[in-house]
Amino acid sequence: MSLISLVLAAVVLYYLLQGGLTIVQILAVMLFLALFMAFGVGFYKKDVLALADKIMKDRAFPKKSWLYMLLWAALLVWGLFALFG
């Protein structure tokens, strides 16, 4: 499932960029959606914090999430270079 989601995300990113959006615009929309979703999740903060604690206590977390974190870092660096470079 993760690989399918990653491939679909790459395809969507490609078509968004081909459609004329910039990486800065895409990241701005992602920030807006993240903040809006955080508002909705805020109603379940105890459950979410408990899940976050459980995930952070998992010693395999970095091993499971390294690609995800690397891709986020690459997108953010790309966005910063596009914005300031």
Number of domains in the chain: 1
Lowest average pLDDT, out of 12-21, 30-39, 57-66, 73-82, goes to 57-66
Give per-residue burial for 51-62: e unless 16+ CB within 10 Å, then b: eeeeeeeeeeee
Tens of pLDDT, residues 40-75: 999 999 999 999 999 999 999 889 999 999 999 999
HEC letters along 44-72: HHHHHHHHHHHHHHCCCHHHHHHHHHHHH
Taking CA atoms, 55 is separated from 29, 39, 45, 65, 66, in Å, by 27, 21, 15, 11, 14
